[in-house]
Amino acid sequence: MNGTAIITGGSRGLGKELVDLFLKDNWKVSTFSRSWPQDIEFMEPSFLGLKADIRFEADIERVISETKRLLGNPRVLVLNAGWVSRATKIVDENINNLREDVEVNLISNTFMAQEFMRKCNPEAVVHITSDVAESPYPGWGFYGASKRAMDYIMETLKLENHEVKFLSIDPGDMNTTMHMTADPEADPAGLADPAVAALKVFNRIREEVRR
Ligand SMILES: NC(=O)c1ccc[n+]([C@@H]2O[C@H](COP(=O)([O-])OP(=O)(O)OC[C@H]3O[C@@H](n4cnc5c(N)ncnc54)[C@H](OP(=O)(O)O)[C@@H]3O)[C@@H](O)[C@H]2O)c1
């Protein structure tokens, strides 16, 4: 076994594909999402799925403790779960959407990273970021601001913890629920299959994490 990884939001999209790739590479994988069909799904010896909401600190604490109990101490964390609203010009957008972007993409991810750093055997933390965190796009301001702020947290963590790898990886535009929520008129033919994007993300992680 390569060790244990936690991948947030593994029920669909990029997260689901990453879970599959890690399992095929002989990792033990723990994942969770709000809609996970079972409260706890343990497939010995290597897979744990949990119903949990990253916005709730008690859920994050449970994910960490159950992962350690059933799969061993994780050494890799992939912050994949994310939230977006329909792409809207800032002047027209409901301010509560900024609250939700910040809650999920910044605060919850930061607490998840803190708990991983405090309680696990941290070797690498990977943040799935976005090109809109790099430079602004009309309509994507709230989401982009939350992603960019999380990248800033990652850069700071990197300066504070030299023994741990901190990677922000942009998977590119993908044909997923999230993209369709933000831009329902997008032509799916112009969006990458999440399985293809996941392989690129996985290979990048594999370059950085020791076997
Ligand atoms: N799609 C794109 O074009 C694109 C481009 C650049 C970056 N990204 C980034 O890639 C990552 C994955 O996106 P995706 O497109 O694969 O999205 P997706 O298909 O919508 O999947 C998101 C996953 O996160 C889970 N999730 C959402 N909110 C959660 C919460 N509060 N607690 C726990 N789990 C939660 C979802 O499950 P539940 O709903 O059951 O909770 C689902 O498993 C995100 O960080 C996104 O920002 C996406």
Q: Which of 6, 20, 80 to mutate to test the pocket of ligand 1 (most atoms within 8 A of CB)?
A: 80
In short, whether 177's Cβ falls inside 6 Å of ligand 1 is yes
Domains of the chain: 4-208 (3.40.50.720)
Q: How far apart are CA 185 and CA 187, in angstroms?
A: 6
Q: Would you say residue 166 has pLDDT above 90? A: yes
In short, whether 128's Cβ falls inside 6 Å of ligand 1 is yes
Amino acid letter for position 65: S
State pLDDT tens for residues 28-87. Answer: 999 999 999 999 999 999 999 999 999 999 999 999 999 999 999 999 999 999 999 999
* 3-class state of residue 64 by DSSP: helix
Q: Which long-range contacts (CB under 8 A, 24 or more apart) does 98-105 make?
A: 98/142, 98/145, 98/146, 101/142, 101/143, 101/145, 101/146, 102/145, 102/146, 102/149, 103/55, 104/54, 104/55, 104/146, 105/143, 105/146, 105/147, 105/149, 105/150
Spacing, Cα 83 to ligand 1 middle (Å)? 6
What are the start-end ranges of the H helices in 161-193? 177-182
In short, whether 83's Cβ falls inside 6 Å of ligand 1 is yes
Q: Which long-range contacts (CB under 8 A, 24 or more apart) does 204-210 make?
A: 204/167, 204/169, 205/76, 205/78, 205/124, 205/126, 205/167, 205/169, 206/25, 208/124, 208/165, 208/167, 209/75, 209/76, 209/123, 209/124, 209/165, 210/123
In short, whether 80's Cβ falls inside 6 Å of ligand 1 is yes
Q: How far apart are CA 66 and CA 60, in angstroms?
A: 10
Q: How far apart are CA 171 and CA 181, in angstroms?
A: 17
Q: Which of 99, 178, 187 to mutate to test the pocket of ligand 1 (most atoms within 8 A of CB)?
A: 178
Supply 55's token pair. Answer: 């916005």
In short, whether 178's Cβ falls inside 6 Å of ligand 1 is yes
Rg (CA), the chain: 16
Spacing, Cα 79 to ligand 1 middle (Å)? 10
State pLDDT tens for residues 1-25. Answer: 799 999 999 999 999 999 999 999 9
Share of the chain above pLDDT 70, in %: 100
Pick the atom of ligand 1 nearest to 174's CA: 3
Whole-prediction pTM: 0.98
pLDDT confidence of residue 1: 77
Q: Which of 6, 8, 11, 14 to mutate to test the pocket of ligand 1 (most atoms within 8 A of CB)?
A: 14
Q: How far apart are CA 58 and CA 81, in angstroms?
A: 17
Q: 9 and 80 in contact (C-beta within 8 Å)?
A: yes
